[in-house]
Amino acid sequence: MRILQYRRGRLVKVVVAVVGVVAVVLLLASHLHPATSHALRSAGALVSKAKQKVTYVGDKAGNFEPPPAAHKGGPGEGGKAHQLSAAKQNEGSMSVSEYGINMVVSDEIAMDRDISDTRHAECAHWEYPEDLPTASVVIVFHNEGFSTLMRTVHSVIDRSPPQFLKEVLLVDDYSDKAPLKEPLDDYITRWGDKVRLVRNKERAGLIRTRVVGAEEARGDVVLFLDAHCEVNKNWLPPLLAPIYRDRHTMTVPVIDGIDHNTFEYRPVYGAGSNFRGIFEWGMLYKETELPPEIERTREHQSEPYKAPTHAGGLFAINREYFLSLGAYDPGLLVWGGENFELSFKVWQCGGSIEWVPCSRVGHVYRGFMPYNFGKLAEKKKGPLITINYKRVVETWFDDKYKEYFYTREPLARYLDMGDVSKQLAMKERLGCKSFQWFMENVAYDMLRKYPELPKNLHWGELRSAKGDYCWDMGGQDAPARVEAYPCMGDDVGGDTSQLRNAATSRCLDTMGHSAPSFMGVAHCHGFGNNQLIRLNAQGQLGVGERCIDADGQGIKLVFCRIGTVDGPWQYDEKQNHVMLHKRIGKCVALHPQTFQLSLMPCDPINNYQKWTFKKITPK
């Protein structure tokens, strides 16, 4: 092999070692006099060799750093927030309900606007091989806004060295919006063969559509982007270089945020603060600081580092390698979980994932999903994303770890995930490593945040004692307020002033609020979701990703304490059915009139403190 690893130019060393005037002068020099870079490059090779860090053979490395962009000064230029005139505000909010993105704002911003360079200062001084593999940038889309989609393409064309950009491949996942038909065909002709468009004949979902893109692509590397991105300065070579070094490495850019309302471009992480992708046991994607084990070995803040997983949308992988891994599991539906499937597959079957700080890409985070899953969702019962997770877990986790997933998502056990035997056969055929190996060698920092889960003692709806409330007119005639009171006896009804309401059993419910907030009660609906409560063997009461705690004010939905799985609760299942807060020494009570929850001195006789767990069956 000629070049085993790409190398850095000497300037990096200088910037790091001699902070101050010298660094500034050299930084300027590199921008103003591209000719100086050759001399520095050779010197860089010597420095690198001396450090034994980088193996460099041959002379062909380049910096690929473009000159500073011209400031045009239009709306949103420089990545600044753009506000609509009063007259257009209404139209703007309507487009937000349709696209999840303010398309009126987007339409007023230039397709080729300049954005702020959010990279670490070192990034301008890295050098990469001149014969990097070529990339097909694959953008799948379903009913996206025209200008955000096209701005994505413009940014790729404008900010990629043309010799490495084989093409931009747009794959239309059966959109029905008019601008994405002929106007799109017409618009892309300006780029000739460089931008191609293929269209699905029916809705396939983003996961399968990406596979269509990979099959159709002509570049060595497929580089996926969402349809509402703007790539940043010199984003491409740093993503291709690790793949050049080893085609079993997939690379992930650092994702910046683009505001869905103002199109302000701003980093989620500042330059030099490095995070990597992990997950919690319900398979929610998370990011965490680089663990000290990795930090210690890093020479530069800007160098790529290994990561267990990625957010899903933006990454580069050798095309043939991707296809040789079966691309994505074809059993995955529409949206979600594919990021884990690919990550576990890559890692466990001998590849690796690197996050690349010098490659920054902006992504518009939408407040909600502006599309539905169409017919694809109707065919499958049960929450489709959880079905995807289950396929991934059943394929890649060892038994011990599968239990953590089912502890956190008890209903998933009952979902029909289809057949994964082909996936398991491939895992066998490729001789892939165990999940234990992955946890020990790759995601070792994850358990520090999300430790192994103790078993659930109970899970399901947490119901207040049934029939304990009676509608009571307080002895008055109509018109009077009817309120619920504890029933006075068993035999009420008829013309007495109390009417037992059998439906008054209520269930503990997050009320759709996000933590921190108060828990409430609502009519038991049997679907789980906000009413699916779990009590584990260490006294933690959980609902979804969150925990339930209490104080003098009430019963609260809180963030679970990171790194812990215990809790303050003790439930008396056998006798009194009270839920005791051990630290405070009081029990959960439901006020019979206001339906407010609070902690009260435990009163085993009183029904309004009695709770029962009722298992939920999938609907």
Interface residues toward ligand LR7, by CB under 6 A:
140-142, 144, 173, 205-206, 209, 226-227, 255, 311-314, 334-336, 338-339, 363, 369, 371
By beta-carbon proximity to ligand LR7, the closer residue of 173 and 303 is: 173
209: partner contacted, choices ligand LR7, Mn ion, none (Cβ within 5-8 A by kind) = ligand LR7
Residue 220 binds Mn ion (CB under 5 A): no
Q: Cα(first)–Cα(last) distance of the chain, in Å?
A: 57
By beta-carbon proximity to ligand LR7, the closer residue of 258 and 507 is: 258
Bridge partner list, 315? 224
Q: What are the CA-CA distances from residue 10 to residues 119, 239, 297 (Å)?
A: 18, 21, 20
Say which residues have a Cβ less than 8 Å from residue 409's Cβ, sequence separation at least 6: 282, 283, 386, 389
- Closest contact distance (angstroms) between CB of 396 and ligand LR7 is 17
- Closest contact distance (angstroms) between CB of 226 and Mn ion is 4
By beta-carbon proximity to ligand LR7, the closer residue of 23 and 188 is: 188
267: partner contacted, choices Mn ion, ligand LR7, none (Cβ within 5-8 A by kind) = none
Distance of CA 322 to the CA centre of its chain: 21
Distance CA 324, CA 491 (A): 71
Distance CA 550, CA 588 (A): 9
Bridge partner list, 135? 165, 221
How many other C-beta atoms can be found within 10 angstroms of the C-beta atom of residue 22?
A: 12
- Closest contact distance (angstroms) between CB of 135 and Mn ion is 20
205: partner contacted, choices ligand LR7, Mn ion, none (Cβ within 5-8 A by kind) = ligand LR7
By beta-carbon proximity to ligand LR7, the closer residue of 308 and 539 is: 308
336: partner contacted, choices ligand LR7, Mn ion, none (Cβ within 5-8 A by kind) = ligand LR7
By beta-carbon proximity to Mn ion, the closer residue of 122 and 226 is: 226
By beta-carbon proximity to ligand LR7, the closer residue of 122 and 264 is: 264
Closest CA to 288 of 515, 447, 119, 401: 447
Strand order in the sheet with 597-600: 569-571, 579-581, 586-590, 597-600
Distance of CA 30 to the CA centre of its chain: 37
- Closest contact distance (angstroms) between CB of 188 and ligand LR7 is 16
Distance of CA 306 to the CA centre of its chain: 18
- Closest contact distance (angstroms) between CB of 467 and Mn ion is 48
Asked if residues 144 and 99 have their Cβ atoms less than 8 Å apart, the reply is: yes
- What is the chain's percent helix, strand, coil content, to nearest 5? 35, 25, 45
By beta-carbon proximity to ligand LR7, the closer residue of 346 and 550 is: 346
- Closest contact distance (angstroms) between CB of 340 and ligand LR7 is 10
Say which residues have a Cβ less than 8 Å from residue 399's Cβ, sequence separation at least 6: none
Distance CA 548, CA 555 (A): 7
346 membership: H or E segment, kind and range: helix 338-348
- Closest contact distance (angstroms) between CB of 228 and Mn ion is 6
- Closest contact distance (angstroms) between CB of 162 and Mn ion is 26
Asked if residues 456 and 534 have their Cβ atoms less than 8 Å apart, the reply is: yes
352-383 burial: b if 16+ Cβ within 10 Å, else e: ebbbbbbbbbbbbeeeeebbebeebbeebebb
- Closest contact distance (angstroms) between CB of 363 and ligand LR7 is 4
Distance CA 327, CA 426 (A): 12
- Closest contact distance (angstroms) between CB of 209 and ligand LR7 is 5
141: partner contacted, choices Mn ion, ligand LR7, none (Cβ within 5-8 A by kind) = ligand LR7
334: partner contacted, choices ligand LR7, Mn ion, none (Cβ within 5-8 A by kind) = ligand LR7
Of all residues in this chain, which one has the CB nearest to Mn ion in the complex? 226
By beta-carbon proximity to ligand LR7, the closer residue of 373 and 471 is: 373
By beta-carbon proximity to ligand LR7, the closer residue of 76 and 205 is: 205
Asked if residues 288 and 275 have their Cβ atoms less than 8 Å apart, the reply is: yes
By beta-carbon proximity to Mn ion, the closer residue of 226 and 509 is: 226
**What is the SS3 assignment for 165?**
strand
Residue numbers 521-580 binding Mn ion by CB under 5 A: none
By beta-carbon proximity to ligand LR7, the closer residue of 47 and 254 is: 254
Binding mask 399-428 for Mn ion (x = CB under 5 A): ------------------------------
- Whether omega for the bond prior to residue 479 falls within 30 degrees of 0, making it cis, is yes
255: partner contacted, choices Mn ion, ligand LR7, none (Cβ within 5-8 A by kind) = ligand LR7
Asked if residues 195 and 168 have their Cβ atoms less than 8 Å apart, the reply is: yes
**What is the SS3 assignment for 362?**
strand
**What is the SS3 assignment for 538?**
coil
User: Given the rule CB under 5 A, which of 225-233, 279-287, 386-394, 540-548 is the region that contacts Mn ion?
Assistant: 225-233
Residue 303 binds Mn ion (CB under 5 A): no
Torsion of CA 384, 387, 392, 397, to 10 degrees: 150
Which tokens go with 87? 């007259």
By beta-carbon proximity to ligand LR7, the closer residue of 334 and 521 is: 334
Distance CA 597, CA 586 (A): 12
- Closest contact distance (angstroms) between CB of 562 and ligand LR7 is 19
Asked if residues 506 and 481 have their Cβ atoms less than 8 Å apart, the reply is: no
By beta-carbon proximity to ligand LR7, the closer residue of 185 and 440 is: 185
Binding mask 38-57 for Mn ion (x = CB under 5 A): --------------------
- Closest contact distance (angstroms) between CB of 512 and ligand LR7 is 20
- Closest contact distance (angstroms) between CB of 16 and ligand LR7 is 30
Residue 226 binds Mn ion (CB under 5 A): yes
591 membership: H or E segment, kind and range: none
The residues of the shown chain that bind Mn ion, judged by CB under 5 A, are: 226
